[in-house]
Amino acid sequence: MLEIGSKAPDFKLYSAKEELISLSMFLGKKIVLYFYPKDNTSGCTKQAMNFKNVYDELKKLNVVLIGISKDSILSHQKFIANYELPFILLSDTNLIAIKAYDVWKEKKLYGKTYMGIIRSTFIIDENGYIIQASEHVNPATNPTQVLTFLQTL
């Protein structure tokens, strides 16, 4: 996992709106960058809905919220439509940002080992440096914790 104080790796990925988005486009704003395993699954939906619930407060703080998974653009479009998600979702099918942020790791489920995304959240300052990094976050509480942290700055 990337450390607090390190420069956030830049990337270029396509959004659900089929726009090429780079992290550097948002210099001058704080960014909440969260990585999640899969659209339309229970934990990921819970996390997305909880981010939706705090989204207006994040916007008031001039924070950009970006979710990243390895799902396709079409999958993201359906996920956004199903839950009316107001924030950016990026498709990282080639694991560019996922590997750059060191969230692609070995996981175990029912005795089987496989590679997958570790649910993680990074808060990046206006100059592109990581000021908060959390791994194995709880999808139910992570969005509120992120908002609370940002409100204390």
Catalytic residue numbers read: 44
Q: Residue 84, Cβ neighbours under 10 Å: how many?
A: 8
Query: What pairs with residue 20 in β-bridges?
Result: 14
Query: Helices in 41-107 by DSSP H: which ranges?
Result: 42-60, 73-83, 96-100
Q: Residue 59, Cβ neighbours under 10 Å: how many?
A: 13
Distance CA 37, CA 27 (A): 26
The answer to whether the beta carbons of residues 45 and 81 sit under 8 Å apart is no
Distance CA 51, CA 13 (A): 21
Residue type, 72: S
